[in-house]
Structures are given as structure tokens and as C-alpha cells.
Amino acid sequence: ETGVTQTPRHLVMGMTNKKSLKCEQHLGHNAMYWYKQSAKKPLELMFVYSLEERVENNSVPSRFSPECPNSSHLFLHLHTLQPEDSALYLCASRPGSGDTGELFFGEGSRLTVL
């Protein structure tokens, strides 16, 4: 069982829908991350949260809106997405954002935008 849990695992949405991805970590970590992985491209960092404060926003379009209500939960709210936003969205955590250690990933949410 992974220490980082993502739901839903699969999501299909139309361009006018609003949906949210959820991530929960059970590792007691203080830093949480959203990455996007598109086919044949490297993982792209989207957002970094440290102790519920957003510390990195990697030029992500405003149709992606993150929320971190506490250090264990991270959301990615989606609205008016484009077909090119179809990808695997990976949540990750590590003890602190200033750490240089490994990232622990959830199983990902595979998003298809029609």
C-alpha cells in the first residue's frame, strides 16, 4: 500500500466540466507536489507546497488551481481544460521542500479531456 494515495485513478471530462484531483499522504511529510506526465515527455513540475504554503508555481495555466488545506492533503481543481491537458497527474511528497531526498509518488490520476 502506497503512503501517497490519489483519487480518482482515472477521470474523463469534457472541456466545460469542473473536477478535482485529490492526494493524501500518510507519511508525515511537510512538502507536497503536483507533477504532470504527458506521453514521451519528462515529468513536469506544476506546484510545490510546503507546510500548506505554495512555494513554487511553475508557470501553470490558471485552469489548474491547487489547494492545500493541511500538510496531508493536496487538491488540483480543474476547469475548462483543453485536450492537450490529457496526461497522468502525479502527486508526490517528501519530508520538507528544502530536503534533497527522494520524492514519494502516488499512483497517479490519469486524465482524459475530450
Residue ranges binding other proteins (CB under 8 A): 2, 31, 33, 40-43, 45, 48, 50, 55-56, 88, 90, 97-98, 100-108, 110
Q: Which is nearer to other proteins, 16 or 102 (CB)?
A: 102
Residue 11 Cβ vs other proteins, minimum distance, rounded to whole Å: 14
Contact of 78 with 13, CB cutoff 8 Å = yes
Q: Which is nearer to other proteins, 2 or 82 (CB)?
A: 2
Alpha-carbon gap, residue 95 to 104, rounded angstroms: 10
Residue 88 Cβ vs other proteins, minimum distance, rounded to whole Å: 8
Contact of 88 with 109, CB cutoff 8 Å = yes
Q: Which is nearer to other proteins, 16 or 41 (CB)?
A: 41
Residue 67 Cβ vs other proteins, minimum distance, rounded to whole Å: 18
Alpha-carbon gap, residue 108 to 99, rounded angstroms: 22
Q: Which is nearer to other proteins, 43 or 80 (CB)?
A: 43
Residue 37 Cβ vs other proteins, minimum distance, rounded to whole Å: 9
**Bridge pairing between strands 4-7 and 109-113:** unpaired
Alpha-carbon gap, residue 57 to 93, rounded angstroms: 16
Alpha-carbon gap, residue 24 to 12, rounded angstroms: 21
